[in-house]
Amino acid sequence: MNDLINQSWYLLIKDIITFLFTSAGLIIASTGLATWKKQMKGTKEFDTAYNLNYAVLRLRDAIKSVRNPAIWPSESHRAIEYLKSKYPEKSIKELEKDSHAAVYEIRWEEITKASTEMESYLLAAEVLWKSDILELIKPLNEKINELNIALIRNFEPELRSGDLIEIRNVIYNKGDGSTGEDAFSQEVNKLVKDIADYLQSKMS
């Protein structure tokens, strides 16, 4: 009889100990999983913020390059070669006449590349930070559209509306000697800074 009681107690204690060890294991595993998820989210946020910030800065530099009023001889030569391949039927005189617009068409390719790169990271950013980042990016895209429209109106007179001086104030950076930035550049830089500050907070 005593042996039966002792055996029952032994089995009960064994079950309790087994339960405690199993519970402890589950708690440790759950805590570890939560920590891992947190680390993964932190890594994803850092990578997304870094890549998006880089793309935005690259876009800022591309805008600056497009608005540079100086055209180097190498750019003119490249533009003529570009037009030759695009319009082989045109004469050299015609190509030279169109080369100024072609310089800006080639420059715009960098804006397209940077903008595409930025958009590729925006979906992940929206998943992480909802619409906040989209609201920050929107004004920058509006400035890019403004520049694009100004270029079209400048080089295609039949589509021109508005004052030519105002159009060229958008196309060309006419910054003074102290800062080298005009009103358009200052607006772009302010928008980029706001985006960069937001993204930096996600990397810290």
pLDDT of residue 91: 87
Q: How far apart are CA 36 and CA 29, in angstroms?
A: 10
d(CA 193, CA 204): 16
- Give the global pTM: 0.76
Residue type (1 letter), 104: Y
Determine contact, residues 82/130, Cβ cutoff 8 Å: no
Give me the residue spans of the domains in the chain: 2-203
Q: What is the mean pLDDT of the chain?
A: 83
State what percent of residues in the chain have pLDDT above 70.
Answer: 77
Q: Is the pLDDT of residue 38 over 60?
A: no
Residue 118: closest CA among 66, 61, 57: 57
Q: Is pLDDT at 31 greater than 90 in this prediction?
A: no
What would the pLDDT profile of 98-147 be if each residue is shown by its tens digit?
Answer: 889 999 999 999 999 999 999 999 988 998 998 899 999 999 999 999 99
Rounded distance between C-alpha atoms, residue 187 and residue 181, angstroms = 10
Q: What is the pLDDT of residue 180?
A: 75
What pLDDT does residue 22 have? 64
Sign for the pseudo-dihedral over CA of 64, 68, 74, 76: positive
